[in-house]
């Protein structure tokens, strides 16, 4: 990972990163997720810095689609399992005419590792699983998933621009 390469695309996982990883179910069967508004503002900071944004998740829910629309994410890839997160990132890079070296990604669990190992800037929340924290060159945030870790990572990236 070369910290001198300019980041042109920011990608994030959802559960355990944009949320606290909890899955809340209402009596009527509705699923609820708690998002942090400071992480939402991070997307605005990236836009102002001229960096494209995307959400890449293994889940497939209307909640995430609504959140992606609300924060103005340029890309949303849901249902990305079995290496699908890396494939999604490669597809976006092809569309944008950039390399994975120009991508920043924050993830927290085992299915994030293939992508974390390939991007130019990798990060994880403080409460990520140990295997993610062991990815070479990864930046471990001071904040937990759902508690502003995305904003923390974005502020570091935007300072470099």
Which structure tokens are listed for 21? Answer: 């990883």
Instruction: Answer yes or no: is 130 a known binding residue.
Output: no
Half-sphere exposure of 43 (CA within 13 A, CB side): 19
The token pair that represents 81 in the structure block? 């399992």
Q: CB count, 10 Å around CB of 65?
A: 14
13 annotated among ligand-binding-site residues: yes
The answer on whether 15 is annotated among ligand-binding residues is yes
| C-alpha distances out from residue 124 to 28, 31, 64, 90, Å | 33, 25, 19, 20
Cα–Cα distance for residue pair 35/19, rounded to 1 Å: 5
Other beta carbons less than 10 A from residue 92's beta carbon: 20
Angle at 130 between CA 125 and CA 133, to 5 degrees: 50
Q: Specify binding-site residues for Mg(2+).
A: 13, 108
Binding-site annotation: residue ranges for substrate: 15
Binding annotation: 13, 15, 108
């Amino acid at each position: 990972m070369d910290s001198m390469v300019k980041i042109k695309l920011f990608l994030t996982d959802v559960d355990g990163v944009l949320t606290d990883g909890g899955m809340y179910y209402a009596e009527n069967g509705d699923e609820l997720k708690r998002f942090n508004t400071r992480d939402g503002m991070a997307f605005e900071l990236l836009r102002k810095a001229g960096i494209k944004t995307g959400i890449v998740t293994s889940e497939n829910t209307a909640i995430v689609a609504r959140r992606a629309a609300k924060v103005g994410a340029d890309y949303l890839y849901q249902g990305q399992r079995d290496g699908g997160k890396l494939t999604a990132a490669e597809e976006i890079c092809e569309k944008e005419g950039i390399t994975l070296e120009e991508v920043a990604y924050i993830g927290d669990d085992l299915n994030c590792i293939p992508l974390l190992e390939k991007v130019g800037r990798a990060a994880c929340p403080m409460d990520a699983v140990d295997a993610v924290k062991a990815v070479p060159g990864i930046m471990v945030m001071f904040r937990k998933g759902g508690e502003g870790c995305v904003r923390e990572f974005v502020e570091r990236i935007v300072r470099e621009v």
